[in-house]
Amino acid sequence: MRVVVVGGGVIGLSIAWRAASRGMSVTVVDPAPGSGASAVAAGMLAPVTEVHYGEEALLELNLESSRRYPRFVAELEELTGAETGYRSCGTVTVARDADDLAALDELVAYQRGLGLDVERLRSRELRRLEPGLAPTVRGGALVAGDHQVDPRRLVAALLEACRRAAVRFLPERVEAVEAPAVILESGGTETGDVVVLAAGCWSGQVAGAAAAFGRSVRPVKGQIVRLRRGAGPLPIERNVRGVDAYLVPRAGGELVIGATVEERGFDTEVTGGAVHDLLRAALELVPDVAELTLVEAAAGLRPGTPDNAPVVGPTAVDGLVAATGHYRNGILLAPVTADAVVELLATGEVPAGMAPFSPRRFDKVLSR
Amino acid letter, 256: V
Q: Is 44 in the site for ligand GLY (CB under 6 A)?
A: yes
> Least distance (Å) from ligand GLY to the CB of residue 252?
20
Q: Cα angle at 329 between 323 and 330, to 5 degrees? A: 40
> Least distance (Å) from ligand GLY to the CB of residue 146?
11
Q: Is 258 in the site for ligand GLY (CB under 6 A)?
A: yes
CB nearer ligand FAD, residue 140 or residue 300: 300
Buried b (16+ CB within 10 A) or exposed e, 129-139: bbebbeeebbb
* DSSP conformation letters of 277-302: HHHHHHHHH-GGGGGSEEEEEEEEEE
> Least distance (Å) from ligand GLY to the CB of residue 37?
8
The item of ligand FAD, ligand GLY, none sharing an interface with residue 249, based on CB under 5 to 8 Å by kind, is: none
Contacting residues toward ligand FAD, per CB under 6 A: 6-12, 29-38, 40-44, 173-174, 198-200, 202, 206, 222, 224, 258-259, 300, 302-303, 324, 326-332
The item of ligand GLY, ligand FAD, none sharing an interface with residue 127, based on CB under 5 to 8 Å by kind, is: none
CB nearer ligand GLY, residue 29 or residue 299: 299
> Least distance (Å) from ligand GLY to the CB of residue 256?
10
* DSSP conformation letters of 46-87: -TTTT--TT-HHHHHHHHHHHHHHHHHHHHHHHHH------B
- Contact with ligand GLY (CB under 6 A): which of 147, 238, 241, 328? 328
Q: Is 143 in the site for ligand GLY (CB under 6 A)?
A: no
Q: Dihedrals φ, ψ of 303, to 5°?
A: -80, 95
- Contact with ligand GLY (CB under 6 A): which of 222, 303, 304, 314? 222
| Number of residues forming the site for ligand GLY (CB under 6 A) | 7
CB nearer ligand FAD, residue 31 or residue 131: 31
Strands of 181-184's sheet in order across: 174-178, 181-184, 189-191
CB nearer ligand FAD, residue 139 or residue 206: 206
Query: Distance between CA atoms of 354 and 346, rounded to whole angstroms?
Result: 15
Q: Is 45 in the site for ligand GLY (CB under 6 A)?
A: no
Contact of 177 with 320, CB cutoff 8 Å: yes
> Least distance (Å) from ligand GLY to the CB of residue 302?
6
Q: Is 149 in the site for ligand GLY (CB under 6 A)?
A: no
CB nearer ligand FAD, residue 139 or residue 170: 170
- According to DSSP H, which parts of the chain are helical? 10-21, 56-80, 98-113, 123-129, 151-164, 210-213, 272-285, 330-347, 363-367
Residue 271 CB burial class (10 angstroms; 0-12, 13-18, ≥19): middle
The item of ligand FAD, ligand GLY, none sharing an interface with residue 140, based on CB under 5 to 8 Å by kind, is: none
> Least distance (Å) from ligand GLY to the CB of residue 92?
16
The item of ligand FAD, ligand GLY, none sharing an interface with residue 139, based on CB under 5 to 8 Å by kind, is: none
> Least distance (Å) from ligand GLY to the CB of residue 192?
31
The item of ligand FAD, ligand GLY, none sharing an interface with residue 292, based on CB under 5 to 8 Å by kind, is: none
* DSSP conformation letters of 306-333: TTSS-EEEE-SSTTEEEEE--GGGHHHH
Query: Distance between CA atoms of 349 and 313, rounded to whole angstroms?
Result: 9
> Least distance (Å) from ligand FAD to the CB of residue 65?
9
Contacts of 154 (CB under 8 A, 6+ apart): 10, 38, 43, 73, 76, 84, 85, 331, 334
Q: Is 236 in the site for ligand GLY (CB under 6 A)?
A: no
Q: Which residues would be at the binding site for ligand GLY (CB under 6 A)?
A: 42, 44, 222, 258-259, 302, 328
